[in-house]
Amino acid sequence: MIFAMSTGSESINMFDAITGHSEKAHAILFSARLPRVLLAALVGMALATSGGAFQALLRNPLADPFILGVSGGAALGSVLAVGFRLHFIWISLLAFVGATIAMLCIFWIAKGRGRFRSTELLLTGVIFNAFCFALILFINAMVTMEEAYQILFLLIGNLEETGLGMVGIVAFFVLTGFTILTLLARRMNLLLLSDNEAKSLGINIDKLRIIVFCSASLMVGAAVAASGLIGFVGLFIPHIVRLIFGADHRILIPASGLLGAAFLILADTGARTVLMNTQYATQLPVGVITALIGAPLFMILLKRRNIM
């Protein structure tokens, strides 16, 4: 973490920055680097934990935090904010509102069929997502080039433009969700059995699903609001943890959270530094890095071991 904070397009000396010897270093550390690294950690934690939770909830190893439509709602919210040329604070705010509305809609539709089951949930989520992205493309077609570029940036996922206030709000949702899911971890193991088995082992499976769904969705909502759609973290981090430690959620959930946080800090450090000394002299969106590392890694895992 310290390494991540001291590296960037402008490298700073930690000691100078903390003690205030160098005013510039101090400013960079506290107003840019610290919030960014903290946010990377929180978003990484949110995505990896909720990814693991959704994989259990849907009994599907290919589930990721964005599969259930919550991300579509959040993305739509932030794109609307861009489309209406609102202040950039609104981007996050509307994203979170979008995520919450999406969550309630999906919940309501899936629940409409009586029981809250994996297949209903998966179908509803996937269709809801497709609908949101159709709307996003619709908006995209109506905005200026520059705004369209901003939308692209949102959809790839990046960790720029952060203040400590934002970090605080995200931290609240992510840490709450993380705590709830960690506490539910033992019972989440039973989500992987059939509904009948879980019930006959004394679990109120409908209630458990609802709590897991809501906690994970709020984490995703906060993460997407803060940083757009950063892909792959939520898909492959839980699988890596599973390969190392097994399927028990008591380890899977907390370990995914920590590994996700660490991974995204590193990926973001990479995003900030890879192109800094080249002719482009720019920062990459972190979503590019996670996808570039995550997709091949995931394919190697799939090939090497049958995780399905």
Partner 1 sequence: MNKILEIKQLSFSYGKSIVIDDISFDIRDASIVGILGPNGAGKSTLINLLSGTNAPDAGSILIDGDDLKSIPYRTLAKRVAVVPQMSSSPFAFTSLEIVLMGRTPYISPYGFESKDDIDIAIDAMKKTDCYEFASRNIDELSGGERQRVLLARALAQNPRILMLDEPTTFLDIKHISALKNTLLKLNHDGGLTIICALHDLNIASSICDHIILLKDGSIEAAGTPDEVISRPIIERVFDTSVHIEKDPTTGQPYFLI
Q: Summarize as ranges the residues that interact with partner 1 (CB under 8 A).
A: 55, 59-61, 183, 186-187, 189-190, 192-197, 199-204, 242, 246-248, 250, 307-308
Residues contacting residue 296 through CB under 8 Å, at least 6 positions apart: none
- Burial of residue 86 (CB within 10 Å: 0-12, 13-18, 19+) is middle
Amino acid at 23: E
- For residues 265 and 37, the answer to whether their CB atoms sit within 8 Å is yes
Give Cβ neighbours of residue 227 (< 8 Å, ≥ 6 apart). Answer: 39, 43, 157, 158, 159, 286
Rounded to the nearest whole angstrom, what is the least distance from the CB of residue 162 to partner 1 in the complex? Answer: 34
What span, in angstroms and rounded, lies between the C-alpha atoms of 227 and 136? 17
Minimum CB separation of residue 214 from partner 1 in Å reads: 17
Rounded distance between C-alpha atoms, residue 127 and residue 72, angstroms? 10
Of 116, 277, 131, nearest to 205 (Cα)?
116
Q: Is 242 helix (H, G, I), strand (E, B) or coil?
A: helix
Asked if residue 206 lies in contact with residue 25, where contact means CB atoms within 8 angstroms, the answer is: no
